Chain A
Amino acid sequence: DTAVSQTPKYLVTQMGNDKSIKCEQNLGHDTMYWYKQDSKKFLKIMFSYNNKELIINETVPNRFSPKSPDKAHLNLHINSLELGDSAVYFCASSQPGGTGGSSSPLHFGNGTRLTVT
């Protein structure tokens, strides 16, 4: 029944490796997101994506790339992992509101803790 699920929950890997984190939502939302939460617990947007538009936070290295096989999935691929990539990554989804209306709340997965050694 989990609305937004992401796997794996924990990921430990060595520098230089390439890894992926998967995300699926069963809420029928049009927009999905990836956030990075640093050691100070601040959530920073990395990408937002719907079937029309990918918006990339310009501070995100191009080693990070989102891949969406369909509306319910948004996977995160990371190439050439670096020590500084260690963080908790959250997937989320929402349904944009109509003109002037509020979007639905963000629904988050439970995060993937990535540790790069």
Chain B
Amino acid sequence: KNQVEQSPQSLIILEGKNCTLQCNYTVSPFSNLRWYKQDTGRGPVSLTIMTFSENTKSNGRYTATLDADTKQSSLHITASQLSDSASYICVVGNQFYFGTGTSLTVIP
């Protein structure tokens, strides 16, 4: 069964700290993996995309990694800012299998 699981479900961190969000998937065949950010009251916005041959991709303070062998991805946020407070969603494949999301809250 094609599934995408994310952890933790929610996370609270202090402004300026780093954090890492996890995504495990069983989608097959694998074509790509994307991380989306969803601000409150808005639609999700794509942050990064990685294909099978890529194992890391950066977008500013966001760095995504991919291990296609273990079917795991992570999203690392460096020097967090209050504006990073959002839900982060892992989406796998061209059929867009959605993860359960991680709610991140950055506090001053």
Pairing of A with B: yes
* Chain A residues proximal to chain B, CB less than 8 Å: 4, 33, 40-45, 90, 92, 94, 96-97, 100, 102-103, 105-111
* Chain B residues proximal to chain A, CB less than 8 Å: 31-32, 34, 36, 38, 41-46, 49, 51, 87, 89, 91, 94, 96, 98, 100-101, 103
A82 to B103, CA, bound (A): 28
Tell me whether A108 and B44 are in contact in the complex, defined as CB-CB below 8 angstroms, given that A42-B100, A43-B98 are known contacts.
yes
Contacts of A103 in B (CB 8 A): 94
A17 to B103, CA, bound (A): 34
Establish whether residues B49 and A102, one from each chain, have CB atoms under 8 Å apart when the complex forms. Answer: yes
10 further A-B pairs in the complex, CB-CB below 8 A; given A40-B100, A96-B94, A106-B46: A41-B101, A41-B103, A43-B44, A90-B44, A97-B94, A100-B31, A102-B31, A103-B94, A105-B34, A105-B36
* Number of CB contacts from chain A to chain B under 8 A: 49
A-B contacts, 16 of them at CB < 8 A, read A4-B43, A42-B98, A43-B44, A43-B98, A45-B96, A45-B98, A92-B43, A94-B96, A96-B94, A102-B49, A106-B44, A108-B45, A110-B42, A111-B41, A111-B42, A111-B43
> What's the least CB distance linking A94 to chain B, in Å?
8
* CB-nearest residue of chain A to B103: A41
Contacts of A100 in B (CB 8 A): 31
A42 to B31, CA, bound (A): 22
* CB-nearest residue of chain B to A109: B43
